[in-house]
Amino acid sequence: MILLRSLTLLITISSITSIDVLVPISTTTPSSSFYPYIAHPRQPQRLSLPQKRPLHTNKFYTNPLLGPGNNPIITHPFVLFMNLESPYGISISCTEQLALGQQIDSTRVKYFINVILKNIQVSATEFTAQNFEIINVDDPGFALTLKMRQQNSQSSITMPIVRGMAYVTFEYNSATPKISTTHAILSVNGQASGRISGKRFEIALNNGQTWLLYTLNGDITLEFRDNQLFGTQAITNVLRLTKKQSDSYANSLLDSHVSVYPTGCQLKADVTDSKGTYTFIWERKGDITKNLLHYTLAHHRQVISTSSATATPVQTQSASKGPMIGYIGNVWIMTEDSLSKMTYLAPRPPAPEYEDSIVAQLRRDITDGVNLGVTDYYFTGKAFHKYALLCLLADYYRETSLRQQCINTLESAFDVLITGKNANALRYDTTWSGLISAAGLAPSQELADFGNSYYNDHHYHWGYFIQTGALIAYLDPNYIPKMKNWVESLIRDANNPSTQDTNFPQFRYFDWYSGHSWSQGLFESADGKDQESTSEEINFHYGLALWGLSTQSKTLESLGRLMLAIAKRTIQTYFLMDSDNKVMPKEFIANKVTGIFFENKADYATWFGPNPEFIHGIQMLPSTPITEEVRLPKFVEEEWSTIMSKVVGSAAGGWKSILYMNYAIINRGEAFNQLLSAPLDDGLTRTWALYWAATRPNTNGGTGTLPPTTSNPSQVTTPTAPTTTGGECTMPLNGPCTSLTSPGDKDAGLGMYYDQTCAQGGVGCHHVKENCRLCAKNPAIVNNPFVKCPPCV
C-alpha cells in the first residue's frame, strides 16, 4: 500500500510540468506586403549600439534617446540627467523628499512629486562640451550603458545605468575626475580643503547629506578647492557613488559590497499549475566573487525568496513608489503562488431575479447592433469588445439564432482589420521595430489615434482586439486560422516574450522591475514614463490569457496569468490605495486612486479632464470578470463612501454607467436598478452592464449608499451636436484644429474642430493638440462615440 501511494505521488508530480513562458510566439518577420514598412519620423538620437537590435520605446531610458537628451533618467532611487551646460557630465539627485500639491480637502492633496536637485555632478576636466551616446541596452529593459566622451580624445566615462542600482557607477578611461554640487561641500574625509588620497571618500554637504565615493582599482588623489573636487591626474578606474546611511551597519554593507556592480539583467519566467515564478539574473562586473547589493521595491519584497536574496538595513526612498530596501543576492526569485483561474464569464451565475431583464436586453442589443466601422484603434477596439461580449452572452443563454447572427456580424467586421482594409491599417516600423497606426505619421499628427503611431497606449488598444479575438476563437474555433497571425502580431508588438524574436523588443510595455506597464511612448518627459488606466492594462493581460485558453496555447495562457498576477499586486500596492496602504504618501492615499502615475510623481488628474468620475472611472473600465480580483470590496467601499457617492449623481454622460458597475461590487441590487437606465459608456452595452452587476456576490447589506438623485439618469443623453461658441474652425490661430485632421481620420468619416469645453474633458478631446476635438462627419457614427461635427468642419 505504501509503495502504491508513493508511485501515485510520483506520477502526480511528474504530470505537473513547468512551462517556460519566455519562448517565442513566432520569429517570422512581419510581411511587408501586409504591413508596409516605414522608417519612423522620430529617429533615435545618440545611439551607437554594437549591432542592430529591437529598441524599447516605453522603458525608463527613452529620454536620453529623444530631443537634446537632458530630461531625467529615473532609476529608483537615483534620478540622473545630462548637463548640457558646464560642468559637462551627469547630475545625480537622491533627495528622498516629496513636494505636495494643493489641498483638495483636509484629507488629501492633488499631487506629490519627487524633488530633483543636482546633489552631485560628475564630469571630467577634459570635457569641453556635452557629448554622450547610448552604447548598449539589455533585452528586457532594465538597463542601458551610456558613454560620455571628449571628441578627438581618449578621455571617456562609461556608465552602466540599471533599475534599482544601489550606487551610481562611472568607468573612467584616461579622464580626470571633476565632482561638484549645487550645495556647498563642507568637508571631504573631514578636510575642508587641500588634497585627499584614498579609495573611499566621505563628501559632506551643507544640505545634511553625505555622499560616499569609492574607487575600485587603486587609490586616487582629489584636490578640494572652489567647492569642487578635481583629480590630480587622468585615471583609468571605476568610481562609485552613493548616499551615506544613518545606520552604521548599513554603511559597512555599502563598503563591503561596492566592488561588484550591475550592468544589466536577464529575465526568466515559468509557470507550474497555479504558481508562477519570475527571476532576475543580474549581470555583473567588478569582483564577481562578491554578492550584489541592489534595491527592492515594496512589491518585490512581498514575493521574493529569501533563499535567493536577503534583506539588509540599507534603505532609501524611491522617486514615486515608496521605501526601497537593499537586498544582497545575484539572483532574485519571485513567486506568485495563486495565479488567476478566471475564464470568459463570471465565476458565479447571475442572480435568478435579474435573468429575465438581462435576456430581454440581450435580444434588443443584438437586434439593434453596434457600429463596427473601423475609425481609430481605441474606440474601435472598445466597440468590437462590447459586441463580442454580446455574442458570449448569447452563447451563455443559448439564444442560438442571435448567437449566430452576432458571430457573423463580428467576424465580418473583424475581416476588415485582419485583411488590412481599414484606412489607418498598421505599418511595420523598421526604426523601433513595432506595429503602429498609419494615422499619426504625417507632420504634426503625433497624437492622432492617442499617439498610437508614436507607441502610446498599444497595450490599451490591442487588449480590446486580443480579447475580442479570444472570444471569437472560443465561440467559433474555425475562425482561428484566419485571424491568428494578426492577433498574435499585436501580442508580439506590445509584449513579445522572447529575445529570439528579434522583430520586436522583449516586453515593450511591461516593465518587469516596476511590475506594471508604461503607456507613454516616444515623447520626452520631465517626470519620466507614465500610466493612467491600470484597468486597461489588466484587460491586456486578461485578454492574453483568454487568447491562450481559446487557442490551446498553455504558454500564452500562462504568460498572461503570470503578468496578470504581478500587475494586480503592483496596482493594489501603488495605484489603488486603501486605508491600509503603507507605501504611498499618507497625504495622497485618501484620493484612493493615483490618477496619472509618473515615474517621478503622481497627479490626481487625467489627460482628458479633471472630473473625479474621469479620474476614477478610467481605472475601472472595462469591467470584466477579472475586475473583481483587482478592485477588492474593501477598496471599493472606501472609494465609494469618501468620493464616488458624492459625484455619481452629477457624473458626465456615460461615466455614470462605469461608476454604477463598480458600485455593484458592494451593492449589486441598487447598482442593477441604476444600470437599467443609466447613460452608457461607449465601450459598454446595457446587457453586459446588467449581467456584470447581477453576477456580483449578494452584498446588498453593504454600507455603500446612493446620494439623493440630482437628475434622472434615463433622461441624460450625449448631445448629438456640440454647442458652438465661435472659433471652432479658426482656432488656434497658429494652426486651426480643422487643418490637423489626419488622412486616416478623414477616411473614417471624422473631422476635427476647436472646442473650449474640452477643458472639462470629453470623447475625442485634446486630439493632436490641446482643445482639438475629433468629431463625426459621417452621420452613421455620430455619438458612436464621437459628437457631430459643427457645420463649418
Q: Of the residues 138, 476, 530, 532, which is catalytic? A: 532
Write phi, then psi, for 154 (nearest 5 degrees). Answer: -80, -10
Residue 524 among the catalytic residues: no
Written in H, E and C, the secondary structure of 44-111 is: CCCECCCCCCCCCCCCCCCHHHCCCCCCCEECCCCEEEECCCCCCEEEEECCCCEEECCEEECCEECE
Verify whether residue 536 is a known catalytic residue: yes
- b (16+ CB within 10 A) / e for 169-207: bbbbbebbbbbbbebebeebeeeeeeebeeeebebbbee
Residues 266 and 240: their CA atoms lie apart, in Å, by 23
DSSP readout, 231-280? ESS-EEEEEEEEEPPSSHHHHHHHHHTTTEEEEEEEEEEEEETTEEEEEE
Reply yes or no: is the peptide bond before residue 140 cis, omega within 30 of 0: no
From the list 510, 480, 504, 509, the residue with the least C-alpha distance to 492 is 504
Torsion over CA: 261, 265, 270, 276 (sign) = positive
Angle at 84 (CA atoms; ends 81, 87), nearest 5 degrees: 90
In this structure, the number of other CB atoms found within 10 A of the CB of residue 488 comes to 20
Known catalytic membership, residue 747: no
Q: Which grid coordinates belong to 730?
A: 479658426
Helices (runs of H) and strands (runs of E) counted in the chain: 18, 37
Per-residue DSSP letters for 665-724?
Answer: TT-HHHHHHHHTTSPPPTT--HHHHHHHHHTS---TTSS--PPPPSS-GGG----SSPPP
Q: In 10 A of CB 243, how many CB atoms?
A: 20
| CB contact set of 779 (below 8 Å; sequence gap of 6+) | none
Measured over the CA atoms of residue 587, residue 589, residue 594 and residue 600, the dihedral's sign is positive
CA distance 631 to 662: 8
User: Are the CB atoms for 145 and 135 separated by under 8 Å?
Assistant: yes
Q: Catalytic: which of 126, 457, 476, 613?
A: 457
Q: Phi and psi at residue 472, in whole multiples of 5°?
A: -60, -45
Which single residue is written with the C-alpha cell 438581462? 358
CA distances for 357 relative to 344, 361, 389, 518, angstroms: 21, 6, 17, 40
Query: Nearest 5 degrees, angle CA 736-CA 742-CA 745?
Result: 115
Backbone angles phi, psi at 687, to 5 degrees: -60, -50
C-alpha cell at 479: 475562425
Task: Tell me if 376 sits within 8 A of 437, measured CB to CB.
Answer: yes
Cβ–Cβ < 8 Å for 74, 526: no
Please give the grid coordinates belonging to residue 132.
Answer: 554622450
How far apart, in whole angstroms, are the C-alpha atoms of residue 477 and residue 461? 23
Residues 6 or more apart whose CB falls under 8 angstroms from that of 424 comprise: 374, 376, 377, 437, 438, 439, 449, 742, 744, 745, 747, 748
Output Rg (C-alpha) for the chain, integer angstroms: 28
User: Of these residues, 336, 411, 446, 536, which one is catalytic?
Assistant: 536
Could you give the residue numbers annotated as active site?
457, 532, 536
